[in-house]
Structure 1
Amino acid sequence: MSLKAVLRGCGAYLPEKVLTNDELSKRVDTSDEWIRERTGIRARHIAAEGELTSDLAVGAAEAALKDAGLTAKDIDLIIVATTTPDLTFPSTAAIVQAKLDAGEGAAFDIQAVCTGFVYALSTAEKFLTSGQHKRALVIGAETFSRILDWEDRATCVLFGDGAGAFVMEAQPAEEAGDRGLMASYLRCDGRMVDLLYVDGGVSATKTTGHVRMQGNKVFREAVTRISDAMVKVCAEADTPVTDIDWFVPHQANERIIQGVVKKLDLRPDQVVSTISGQGNTSAASIPLAYCAGVADGRIKKGDLVLFEAMGGGLTWGAALMRV
């Protein structure tokens, strides 16, 4: 029996604390105007003291399960995309599984930085369509504020905390119809690791470290690589890019998003953007943006949605889904 991985529900969670550009300008040499002109960001959410990545993930997962009309007991696979795990081990997914009381299905993390959710979505699709698992929680969750150097204005102004989740379900192809994940495209070029990285780690320094980025070089790579991934994933699905209903990008930089829209001849009103109020939430940004589009009524069942991301590694990728 042929199976498809179909989106059953989505959920989002953002910490209560909001850090505005004006507040940030009191901590580092920057200004609201400087940040907005270069990134499109005006504010971001920051996790509270003691609020962990797993807590954000659980909040998003519970919302997604409610949206899907399911309980955690209905889930037999949990994949968490994160760069900021609670612990070195076990995986944040294992901790989320316990907090949700989800039973003994498979649970593991994926580390592809900002591209993590696209990697996780593609991985879940393989497990579901093989028949090995029935329902998956695919979560992007980050407490990126914990790895920022708050004296480095090139990075600390960009990132925020949050989590988003999809419930994906294996359905017979004849039941799913044209809905489901149609194609995904994943890539990495480890030769560019020094463009965006954290200068600490268990084996290298025995420290957590801070985010370091060569912003201009990342920007130059982004538009070309993201656009290429979008074209290729649509070609794999035999669907022109211009046929999509919605473009839900990784929320890295408003100028990058605009560059991709222009390069691929998309309409600005097809873009779902949350960067202004959330900043770059890394692996969480795609599901957070998607949930925002659903919540305000833009994205509807049956729409064709194109996701993309690029992050440290460098990693990049795209996924096309009929929701």
Structure 2
Amino acid sequence: MKHIGITALGMYVPERTVTNADFEGRMGMESGWIESRSGIRERRFAAPGEFTSTLGVRAVQDMLRRDPEALSGVDLVIYATCTPDALFPSTAALVAGQIGLAGVGAYDLSTACSGFVYALSMARGLILGGTARKVLVLGGETLSRALDQNDRDTAILFGDGCGCAVVGEVPEGYGFQDFVLGADSAGGPALYIGHLADQFPDGQPMRDVPTMNGREVFKFAVRVLGDSGTQVLEKTGISNADVDWLIPHQANIRIIEAATQRFGIPMEKTVINLDRYGNTSAATVPLALDEAVRDGRVQDGQQLLMVVFGGGLSWAACTMKWWAGAPSLRADSGKQAPEQPAPGQVSA
């Protein structure tokens, strides 16, 4: 049986940093209120001319700088995003055309913040089924362009960024072990971005900007992160004590703390970077994973658990044994800051 895992990593965050002070002064909030409620200190916003496809190209460029052969054999691109450049062509196809993969299969996947883990599951299944050999998976957003910047419930939480991974065969004993995927549209009105429809199937009105019921999302997130994490550990046949690193969706520090308590993994084993990037939706897990690999926390043979939740409402969890046998998967692979190529330009 083939063993499927991650064989390359890359990431990109825009240069523009937006601090809490930028919101607190404008919205009349007390200094430190945002960080005390969310754990977020700052986030990145895309510059004019930077779109979700641009961020994806630049994440791939970072990956190629660390591993020039990373895209060799890739025959499918999946881009997990809820902020695509267009309804069609897919943002995945736009990225593929700029990185030398024009002509391969390419599609977008929309499960909001759960998207990257969903896409990893799709990539693994397509490889095991023989449809693809290697898959480039991206998770990226430019939520700053979709937000109502005067909405206190959402504007302060979200940021922009992109992480990418190549999924392919890895040695025996490494790679993905199991997945749990779920969705419940009944909770959709609690966290959504509307588009063509002006109401949900039950008649509730729908807005075309990110809309959130924070209280309901908090309760949902704590429950599904804990439950899905427990379920995938049981499916894999390991205990929470076997987990070396938990990589959760970076939405809110209080949600993460409550969820870790729910399935008994200490915060000391939890990768956190939302203080610097905020909630980047589908990009949170690949950004956190990449940073933990770069700084040496995630090492060869360690047991990882990824848990996410998102709008829809959706959730996903994954277990994997980390393989560090490729250039971009080791601690010394990415100390230098990623270069900033112009859109459409990718070089090793």
- TM beyond 0.5: yes
User: Separation in 1 of the partners of 2:68 and 2:224?
Assistant: 37
Q: What is the aligned counterpart of 2:192 among 197, 208, 212?
A: 197
- SS state at 2:154 partner: helix
- SS state at 1:306 partner: strand
User: Separation in 2 of the partners of 1:189 and 1:74?
Assistant: 36
Is the contact between residue 198 and residue 207 of structure 2 (CA under 8 Å) also seen in structure 1?
Answer: no
Q: Deviations over 1:177-231 (max 9, x none)?
A: 2111110100001111110012x313449x9921110001110111111111001
- SS state at 2:136 partner: strand
- Counterparts in 2 of 1:243 and 1:69: CA distance versus 1, 3 Å: farther
- Counterparts in 2 of 1:236 and 1:67: CA distance versus 1, 3 Å: farther
User: Separation in 1 of the partners of 2:292 and 2:220?
Assistant: 27
Q: Which residue type is aligned with residue 109 of structure 1?
A: D
- SS state at 2:22 partner: helix
- SS state at 1:15 partner: coil
The reply on whether 1:179 has 2:154 as its aligned counterpart is no
Q: Deviations over 1:69-116 (max 9, x none)?
A: 425453111110000000111110000000111142211110000101
The reply on whether 1:57 has 2:52 as its aligned counterpart is no
State which drifts further: 13-22 or 72-81: 72-81
Q: Which residue type is aligned with residue 177 of structure 2?
A: M
Q: Deviations over 1:162-183 (max 9, x none)?
A: 0001111134xxxx12111110
Compute the displacement of 1:24 (Å).
1.9
Residue equivalent to 1:287: 286
Compute the displacement of 1:66 (Å).
4.0
Report the identity percentage: 37
Residue equivalent to 1:320: 319
User: Separation in 2 of the partners of 1:259 and 1:318?
Assistant: 17
Aligned-pair Cα RMSD in Å? 1.6
Higher fraction of helix: 1
Is the contact between residue 141 and residue 161 of structure 2 (CA under 8 Å) also seen in structure 1?
Answer: yes
Q: Which residue type is aligned with residue 174 of structure 2?
A: R
- Counterparts in 2 of 1:181 and 1:220: CA distance versus 1, 3 Å: same
The reply on whether 1:90 has 2:89 as its aligned counterpart is yes
Q: Mapping of 1:139-218 within 5 angstroms?
A: 139-171=138-170, 176-198=171-193, 200-204=194-198, 209-218=208-217
- SS state at 1:3 partner: coil
- Counterparts in 2 of 1:32 and 1:3: CA distance versus 1, 3 Å: farther
- SS state at 2:115 partner: helix
5+ long unaligned stretches in structure 1: none
Compute the displacement of 1:68 (Å).
4.3
- SS state at 2:165 partner: strand
Compute the displacement of 1:241 (Å).
2.0
Is the contact between residue 81 and residue 112 of structure 2 (CA under 8 Å) also seen in structure 1?
Answer: yes
Q: Deviations over 1:30-64 (max 9, x none)?
A: 24411011100000000001101001011112223
Compute the displacement of 1:141 (Å).
0.6
- Counterparts in 2 of 1:68 and 1:129: CA distance versus 1, 3 Å: farther
- SS state at 1:191 partner: helix
User: Separation in 2 of the partners of 1:71 and 1:168?
Assistant: 10
- SS state at 2:54 partner: helix
User: Separation in 2 of the partners of 1:64 and 1:321?
Assistant: 21
State which drifts further: 292-301 or 278-287: 292-301
User: Separation in 2 of the partners of 1:84 and 1:31?
Assistant: 31
- Counterparts in 2 of 1:64 and 1:12: CA distance versus 1, 3 Å: same
State which drifts further: 257-266 or 59-68: 59-68
- SS state at 1:154 partner: coil
Is the contact between residue 182 and residue 322 of structure 1 (CA under 8 Å) also seen in structure 2?
Answer: yes
User: Separation in 1 of the partners of 2:226 and 2:207?
Assistant: 33
State which drifts further: 230-239 or 97-106: 97-106
State which drifts further: 53-62 or 29-38: 29-38
- Counterparts in 2 of 1:228 and 1:236: CA distance versus 1, 3 Å: same
Is the contact between residue 4 and residue 128 of structure 1 (CA under 8 Å) also seen in structure 2?
Answer: no
- SS state at 1:156 partner: coil
5+ long unaligned stretches in structure 2: 200-205, 323-348
Q: Mapping of 1:83-122 within 5 angstroms?
A: 83-122=82-121
- SS state at 1:183 partner: strand
Q: Which residue type is aligned with residue 181 of structure 1?
A: F
